[in-house]
Amino acid sequence: MWPPARPSWWRGHALVAWVTRAASPGLPRPPHGRTLRAAGESWGLSRHYSSAERKEKVDMSRFPVENIRNFSIIAHVDHGKSTLADRLLELTGTIDKTKNNKQVLDKLQVERERGITVKAQTASLFYNHEGKQYLLNLIDTPGHVDFSYEVSRSLSACQGVLLVVDANEGIQAQTVANFFLAFEAQLSVIPVINKIDLKNADPERVEKQIEKVFDIPSDECIKISAKIGTNVESILQAVIERIPPPNAHRKNPLRALVFDSTFDQYRGVVANVALFDGVVSKGDKIVSAHTQKAYEVNEVGVLNPNEQPAHKLYAGQVGYLIAGMKDVTEAQIGDTLYLHKQPVEPLPGFKSAKPMVFAGMYPVDQSEYNNLKSAIEKLTLNDSSVTVHRDSSLALGAGWRLGFLGLLHMEVFNQRLEQEYNASVILTTPTVPYKAVLSSSKLIKEYREKEITIINPAEFPDKSKVSEYLEPVVLGTIITPDEYTGKIMMLCQARRAVQKNMVFIDQNRVMLKYLLPLNEIVVDFYDSLKSLSSGYASFDYEDAGYQTAELVKMDILLNGNIVEELITIVHKDKAHTIGKTICERLKDSLPRQLFEIAIQAAIGSKIIARETVKAYRKNVLAKCYGGDITRKMKLLKRQAEGKKKLRKVGNVEVPKDAFIKVLKAPSDK
């Protein structure tokens, strides 16, 4: 019976939405020299990709709605989504088949360096099936929980998904989460069991898991090896046969949903659009439903997977559109574009992402404020799940408080700022959004509400003014071989978690459900889980509201001066352990200086932990006496360069990466 009834352990995902992303025009091309190949000369595509030939336009009128299929590839991290996408691009002739095609759709430098997908990415494939030409819009999505907003947005552009499961690892936590995202969006699900070439592959066991957990008959599973290409063609046939075409109409007035955007320095905003109705072409006058501003369309096209201009885009198709939007604020993700004088009911758009972690971001040098502002604006256009509020601090100057979906998301955003915009920033300790119910009438008047959300630990209200504090909680799913269950339960207990459910998904795999305080998992829970299960356990979570908690604000001081980056809110029972650990880690990360440094953790005026960094006696330069001027100059130069990477807290010089090291080191000792 399809769709299956929801199992009792499932609590629904709240996220809704869709999408994909344009080939980032300003970014370096992937190292492998790939070429574009036409699926037949008749499509008007050039065989080899070059900027001149790219300008040859594709005729998209050849793809009526009934010949279009829009689908996403979803899976747990590393189960092979991007590798499968490579094979599908090759099979359809979208890219040449070469040994160098490795995760071709992972175009960002950060994706290639980390080997993970962080942005959903579209490619339009042309495929001949039983004498008919089809347009298959494929969206490769990220697998990590921190990027699930990309998945949920992608799904609203699709009528179906390929749910890829590793034949060796079986169903994992993100497989479950992603399946239910697709299920709730009422999409057709094609289960694909990948990596059947592996020595330990057990596709039959995985088939049974799929049947048990998702209620999908095992004969619907397609078994493949994306790496070697075994049986991949049958996926294309299944996409055509099992996924319905979009419900869109060419004759209706234009209704185009902006589902993603990038900013190009020369061309302005490049909007990724999905046409729910109508037709759009160069020269059309279009209006943004959000701003009511009108624009003239300069270029439309499809992602193939690079930009390929087209004469027109038609209902049901997915592509890009450039219309002279020069300001990043003009392109709103979720906006509806329509033809001037033919207004339409705007599409529902997307629910905004709910940040799980907040951190302050400041320029290393205040003179860089405007450049950093512009970089953040452009990057958030491409990553709409990041929220930005202006913020300022006495010690760090003017900056912002940014909301992320998790710590990996924060790291990736920071890395993208550095790599794509050459921006260098100071990040403060990430915090989860706590709440306080105020009792002080003066404060209630000031905030104009009784319950406030605290996203900046420096603004944590004193206990005397609060009737209760609340902390965010999540419902976590852990899937593990049963031999690790005991250790995992102990870890969860240490993280103040409450067990909600435990089911066997096959003879030796267990699925555990826990209610966990978000602050207990945000930094290193996943790492601890991985290390105590030898890498076998997987974890995913969803928002589950708030619970009362005894919270305190903890300061870290260097020679009596508060380190703004390290102010943190902690549970009362954990304050001492956390304070001690931070002091110890900071001691390890601080270089010795010419005087002694006292590192202290304090709650209010009470010191709860202390470490000392002894003074460094020798002066390196003192040795360079007399004629050794060159060496002295070199040392001075090196010192000056080093200082650029330092931040001063009082008289103490702190290397910029010291705080990151403090925050990232594992705490489950």
Would you tell me which residues interact with ligand GTP (CB under 6 A)? 75, 77-83, 103, 116-117, 142-143, 194-195, 197-198, 225-227
Return phi, psi of residue 657, to 5°: -85, 0
CA trace torsion 595, 601, 602, 606 (10° rounding): -80
List, as one string, the DSSP characters of 293-316: -EEE--EEEEESSSEEEESEEETT
In the DSSP assignment, the letter for residue 429 is P
**Gap between the Cα atoms of 280 and 312, Å rounded:** 6
* Residues sharing a CB contact under 8 Å with residue 264, sequence separation 6 or more, in sequence order: 25, 26, 270, 322
Closest distance between ligand GTP and the C-beta of residue 191, in Å? 15
Q: How far apart are the first and last CA of the chain?
A: 48
Length of the chain equals: 669
Closest distance between ligand GTP and the C-beta of residue 330, in Å? 31
Closest distance between ligand GTP and the C-beta of residue 408, in Å? 11
Closest residue (Cβ) to ligand GTP?
A: 143
In the DSSP assignment, the letter for residue 368 is G
Nearer to ligand GTP, 175 or 393 (CB): 175
Closest distance between ligand GTP and the C-beta of residue 304, in Å? 20
Closest distance between ligand GTP and the C-beta of residue 198, in Å? 5
Nearer to ligand GTP, 107 or 195 (CB): 195
Nearer to ligand GTP, 166 or 260 (CB): 166
In the DSSP assignment, the letter for residue 456 is S
Amino acid symbol at 88: L
Closest distance between ligand GTP and the C-beta of residue 196, in Å? 7
Distances (CA, A) of 312 to 3, 376, 617: 37, 33, 73
In the DSSP assignment, the letter for residue 171 is S
List, as one string, the DSSP characters of 472-498: EEEEEEEEEEGGGHHHHHHHHHHTT-E
Nearer to ligand GTP, 142 or 517 (CB): 142
Nearer to ligand GTP, 46 or 538 (CB): 538
Closest distance between ligand GTP and the C-beta of residue 411, in Å? 14
Nearer to ligand GTP, 154 or 225 (CB): 225
Nearer to ligand GTP, 194 or 519 (CB): 194
Closest distance between ligand GTP and the C-beta of residue 24, in Å? 17
Return phi, psi of residue 263, to 5°: -115, 125
Nearer to ligand GTP, 144 or 378 (CB): 144
Tokens of 620: 């390196």
